[in-house]
Amino acid sequence: MKDRTFFSFVNCLGFLTVFMMLADNGLGQWEPVGLSGGGGMFSPSISPADPNLMMINCDMSAAYLSEDGGHHWRMIHQAQLRTDTQCRPGFHPSDANVIYASSQGRLKISRDCGQTFTSIGDLRESLSGEIAINPSDPGVMLVGTRNGRCFLSRDGGVKWTACDGPQGRVIGFHFDRTNKGRTVFAATDKNIWRSDDGGRTWAEKSDGLPWKEIKGFSGGSNSVDIMLYCTVTSKLENGVLQGGVYRSRDRGQSWQPAMGRGINLYTTKLDRWSYSPIAQYRHVLTTDAGPLTVYVTNTSTGFHPPHHETVYRSDDGGQTWRATFFQDPRFTQYNVAPNYVTTSAGQSYKGGDTPFGAAICNSDPNRLILVWSQSYITHNGGGTWFNGDTYPAPGHQPKPGSAWACTGLVVTTTWNYYIDPFESNRHYIAYTDIGFARSVDSGKTWIWWDKNTWTPWRNTCYEIAFDPDVPGKMWGAFSDVHDIPNDNIISERHGHNGPGGVCISHDFGASWKPETQGLPLRPVTSIVLDPHSPKNARTLYAGVFMEGVYKSTDDGKTWTLKKNGLGHPQNMRVYRVILHEDGTLFTLICAKRPGRGKPLMSEGVGLYRSRNDAETWEKVNVSQLFLYPKDFTVHPENSNMILVGVCDAGRGDQSGGLYRTQDAGRTWQRIGRQARQTFGGYFHPKRDGWIYMTLTEGASGAGLWLSQDNGQTWQAFEGLPFSNIQRVTFDPSDDRVMYITTFGGSVWRGPAAP
């Protein structure tokens, strides 16, 4: 068994201090960098054996674990566990070292508090809903599957049998502790079932519910009492509000409304910010430690309290309620610690919906966690809430322009990492979802922009270009469309018609101003500067998605389209522009699928080159078809040597990999392939023959690889916890250190060799 004294030591010293100790001992070489939060978080869980132990799954492939009550988090290594946003982990009721979790649908177990996970059991269906463990007999477990069935194990998850009865998407289970868990409850989106013989036979138990549209379920029981709660769709029937929250005091034999005094009973939209005219209740949470204490989450019927989305708490089984969650700083009852969004914007941006996920500690009814694209945690029953994804940097009071520290809960996409060419303490991150962040202490803490300084298109920053002679002067490529050129865009799961533009900053990225005369209102995915152009009349090139390459010769004030010979009328999806030191200009046009389920088109896709300042273009990969290229790099000393990352074009295709030309594109060689989606290849700036290959979206193992012999053999960075890797950037002052940008795991700082 693991010695948990060590983890108490971690909690006392703090995440960053311990990381440095581990690094000095050669045990930990990678650290997350940047702002935390940003992407979707789901299926949280809290250990009843140790209320400080929590898990979260995110929608960007990683799962995270906290051992200090949600203040700091560590990413679980991708080789041990992959995320599952559809299944809540199960913590052992008395042994905090034992954790059951779903890894992309498959059941795994950890016996060392999440350091390592191994597969367990003969369950062949993908997990869904939750993993439930009987507190009275931990060998007995229940799980749901994505086929709409429930399975039972009586030996700690080794052998599983299907339950004859419950059907539908599992919402929750409960083991009745008044009779040592022999009575079991299962709730799905179709009904609620009870078994009185330990799961062998089941009967429906929904008398008193107005309909069987189950949204949430929770049970609490001890040696004396049992309370069951559920939420169903709220509706107006003949002008009367029905649905919402229900309770049962008789083990599900009958259900009564629990829409007591204080809960949102409004039936009209108060304002244009309301989510719906009737509050919908989703998550319902109670515990064995206090069955009469119950929480529910709701959608809003208006922006301001008492109409807002919140977490209601009742201590009398739903007879009376009080709101406990007031996130917007403009609310009088504001009780949520500020984060970089609410501080910088002066408001919250949740949109009135319920959390993506919510959990309560079964042994402590005062500990809850809510997750959206940020996480909120309370240790005092909703009296106050703090942020699991961010906290003010030491010595900083929260305000616009203040610095924030990383908690390790890094759930967003990053495109590029920059170290300022004039002041090495200034670092910058180009983000998806949260746009842009800057650091003035070499990446230790981060400053987010605010509503007075951000760009008109603040979802995504793709690239930055620095003026070579003027400190603090920089241009950025911005867009309200994210994920270009990843599969969300290529397969058209996300829209790509949003706006974007070029902006300029004169103060090291502290504020931005648009420069768009002549540019279409389209996503700008790339921006480069000609360092040989006149000062204050710089020549710049911007890659504009679906339009082409635009050129400016007046510092970015006006722009002209340059697409002669570029792409195809049906595909002008310019993604990346690179200007080589010798003056050769390159651009990449990424893949296009003309419709869902259709094959990728060949027209226009590929790498292009201009030798006359973008006046005309020629295709570089005429001899080698690329249907789905993602990124490319040109050797800094030889523009004839180019690396292109290519993905498989579809089912059955294996043309993806890392391709190289050494003769300006006349011939190509695939020098690496480790997965179906290769993002790109990158040269080490000082080590001849060192090439890095990055994998993203579906890599089954390590996402970063190094060849030290010019692509003949490859070695994986097995120590890097995250697998969906995008780009590699080196520290100019120490080429042994590099920064890795990722698709969903922020930035990681680590060694240049495995």
Give residue 13's pLDDT.
37
| HSE-CB for 716 with a 13 A CA cutoff | 17
Helix (H/G/I), strand (E/B), else coil: 561: strand
The predicted model gives 306-321 an average pLDDT of 98
Token pair in block for residue 181: 């868990």
Cα dihedral 669, 671, 674, 676, rounded to 10, equals -20
Gyration radius of the chain's alpha carbons = 27
Name the pTM for this structure: 0.94
Those residues whose C-beta lies under 8 Å from the C-beta of residue 55, and which sit 6 or more positions away, are 44, 45, 63, 64, 65, 66, 89, 91, 99, 101, 114
Q: Which of 42, 14, 737 is nearest to 408 (CA)?
A: 14
The predicted model gives 209-228 an average pLDDT of 96
pLDDT digits (tens, 9 = 90+) for 602-657: 999 999 999 999 999 999 999 999 999 999 999 999 999 999 999 999 888 999 99
**Which segment of 75-79, 596-600, 728-732 scores lowest on mean pLDDT?**
596-600
Q: Identify the H or E element spanning 22.
A: helix 15-24
Q: How many residues does the chain have?
A: 754
Token pair in block for residue 652: 């059955």
The three state secondary structure string of 447-467 is: EECCCCCCCCCCCEEEEEEEC
Helix (H/G/I), strand (E/B), else coil: 178: helix
Number of neighbouring beta carbons within 10 Å of residue 203: 10
In order, the DSSP letters of 130-158 are: EEEE-TT-TT-EEEEETTS-EEEESSSSS
Give residue 699's pLDDT.
84
pLDDT above 80: residue 510: yes
Residue with tokens 């004039």, as numbered in its chain: 422
Extents of the domains making up the chain = 412-619
State how far the Cα of 735 lies from the Cα of 692, in Å rounded to an integer. 14
Helix (H/G/I), strand (E/B), else coil: 57: strand
Give residue 700's pLDDT.
86
- The answer to whether the beta carbons of residues 186 and 209 sit under 8 Å apart is no
Helix (H/G/I), strand (E/B), else coil: 8: helix
Helix (H/G/I), strand (E/B), else coil: 13: helix
pLDDT digits (tens, 9 = 90+) for 410-440: 999 999 999 999 999 999 999 999 999 999 9
Helix (H/G/I), strand (E/B), else coil: 345: helix
Number of neighbouring beta carbons within 10 Å of residue 623: 11
Angle between helices 5-13 and 15-24 (to 10 degrees): 110
Architecture of domain 412-619: 7 Propeller (2.130)
State the pairing for strand pair 141-145/127-133: antiparallel
Number of neighbouring beta carbons within 10 Å of residue 567: 23
Q: Is the dihedral of CA 377, 381, 385, 391 positive or negative?
A: negative
- The answer to whether the beta carbons of residues 255 and 204 sit under 8 Å apart is no
Q: Is 147 left (phi over 0), alpha (psi -120 to 50) or beta?
A: alpha
Number of neighbouring beta carbons within 10 Å of residue 225: 15
Strand ranges in 146-303 using DSSP code E only, listed in sequence order = 150-153, 161-162, 170-175, 184-188, 192-195, 203-204, 214-221, 226-237, 240-248, 256-257, 281-286, 294-298
Give residue 17's pLDDT.
39
- Any idea what the Cα angle at residue 150 is, between residues 235 and 363, rounded to 5°? 80
pLDDT above 70: residue 229: yes
pLDDT digits (tens, 9 = 90+) for 26-68: 334 899 999 988 889 999 999 999 999 999 999 999 999 999 9
Token pair in block for residue 497: 């018609």
The predicted model gives 98-103 an average pLDDT of 98
State how far the Cα of 527 lies from the Cα of 645, in Å rounded to an integer. 20
